[in-house]
Amino acid sequence: MTPIGLDLAQALADLREQAPLVQCLTNIVAANWTANVLLAAGASPAMVDNPAEAGHFAGVASAVLINLGTPYPETVAAMREAARAAVAAGNPWVLDPVAAGGLPWRTEVALELLDDAAPTVIRGNASEVLGLAGASVGGRGADAADSVEAATLTATYLATRYNCAVAVSGPVDYLTDGRNSLTATNGHEWLTRVTGVGCALGALMAAFAAVTRNGLEAATAATAMLTVAADQAAATTSGPGTFAPALLDRLASLTPDELASAARLGHV
């Protein structure tokens, strides 16, 4: 059991049994990798981001990811429709506010989404999380210039304000729902040398949210799964080029018991 009472082994077993359908409104850089990560983990991706279809699909999908990596007016319209439809249907959705705080228009879009249809999970790096609260412009594109430690109070504030979980990704991941907080310390530096890993993590959180029905549990399970698989992949590879496909292999082969025993989680 994790410090929040989550059975990681059962969560992974449930994900693979249920194979949740995750609608991904994501960026052009990460779309293929995100779909492959979901498939390797045991979920089913659907990259439906047409404004004429996104709302309808969000109502029937198991969960939704909204990622602001490469937003355009048309895709933002689809994101608004998808978020509203997911909430109306009682389906979880995850917001990944890429470069929030550093670029004004997408920051405004992220805040509008939060106010219009609060998500189940917000996932970002420290600079993005701080940026949602107007506290930082320290990021460089999708890269963080702020430490995870600097964003913990802001993460707790956002979790409380929007009644959701907030996951701050970094060398040590910080996860909170405003009441309970965790750290996760698995992972390898090569995760930062493969494009789209954080984006795919948001999608994996959406997949777990479909089966756990709890934002903090979903964020914890997804973070643990990706980082434990990264540890395993790094042990048998020599650099980012061999690490990336090995990570997919390890996500696919990771057993529920391996996940539960290898995850390093601490209560804050």
Q: Pairing state of beta strands 44-46 and 63-67?
A: unpaired
Tell me whether residue 140 is exposed, middle or buried, using C-beta atoms within 10 angstroms of its C-beta: 0 to 12, 13 to 18, 19 or more: exposed
Quick check: is 149 in a domain?
Answer: yes
Is the per-residue pLDDT at 186 higher than 50?
Answer: yes
Quick check: is 3 in a domain?
Answer: no
Across 96-101, average pLDDT: 97
| One-letter amino acid for residue 263 of the chain | A
Residues of the domain holding 89: 8-267
Give residue-wise pLDDT tens across range 123-143. 999 999 999 999 855 544 544
Q: Which of 126-135, 181-190, 215-224 has the lowest mean pLDDT?
A: 126-135
Is the per-residue pLDDT at 147 higher than 90?
Answer: no
Whose CA is closest to 250, among 224, 265, 229? Answer: 229
Across 53-70, average pLDDT: 99
The partner residues of 183 in beta bridges, in order of sequence, read 174, 266
Q: Is the pTM of this model over 0.85?
A: yes
How many CA atoms are closer than 13 Å to the CA of 22, on its beta-carbon side? 35
CATH code at position 77: 3.40.1190.20
Is-contact 249 232, C-beta < 8 A?
no
pLDDT of residue 129: 96
Quick check: is 1 in a domain?
Answer: no
- What is the total count of domains within the chain? 1
The phi, psi pair for 177, rounded to 5°, reads -115, 15
Is the per-residue pLDDT at 182 higher than 50?
Answer: yes
Give the span between the Cα atoms of 127 and 142, in whole angstroms. 9
Quick check: is 196 in a domain?
Answer: yes
Quick check: is 185 in a domain?
Answer: yes
Whose CA is closest to 265, among 175, 194, 155, 185? Answer: 185
Quick check: is 33 in a domain?
Answer: yes
